Every structure is written in C-alpha cells, then in structure tokens.
C-alpha cells in the first residue's frame, strides 16, 4: 500500500491547523444551537484566511485539500 504523505512547510501546517480549528468551531456551532442560526467567531475565520494567504494557498483549494488529506487522516 502506497501512502502519499506530504511534508508541510510551517506555513502550510499553520494553514491546515487553522482550517481544522475553523471546521471544529463550525461543527460545534451547528451542534450546540439548533434553535438559532449558528455563529462562528470572525476571528476564527480571519485566522484561517490569513494562514491560507501566508502559505500561498488562497485560491488553490486543490493543493490545500491535498495537503490536508495527506497530513490529517482524522474525520
């Protein structure tokens, strides 16, 4: 079995980690408040946006999600 594991730069790793924090925050917002619209703190979204930009991944979703899949194997 061949596993294509990427070696991420510090900035790429920061982008992946920021995205995962954003994803977990969004999931928690949807799980925690079914009676009202979920709220995601703007700072969490801004962190992910900035990390993507600094890693040169803004607008390059294909590359970003490839890095995400190869580095983070969890749900």
Query: Domain locations in the chain?
Result: 10-71
Q: Which residues of the chain have pLDDT under 50?
A: 1-3
Provide the pLDDT for residue 4. Answer: 53
Contacts of residue 61, Cβ cutoff 8 Å, sequence gap at least 6: none
Provide the pLDDT for residue 3. Answer: 44
Provide the pLDDT for residue 50. Answer: 92
Contacts of residue 50, Cβ cutoff 8 Å, sequence gap at least 6: 18
């Amino acid at each position: 079995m061949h596993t294509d594991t990427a070696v991420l730069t510090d900035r790429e790793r920061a982008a992946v980690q920021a995205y995962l924090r954003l994803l977990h925050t969004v999931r928690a917002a949807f799980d925690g408040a079914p009676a009202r619209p979920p709220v995601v703190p703007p700072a969490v979204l801004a962190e992910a946006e900035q990390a993507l930009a600094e890693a040169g991944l803004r607008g390059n979703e294909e590359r970003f999600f490839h890095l995400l899949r190869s580095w983070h194997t969890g749900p």
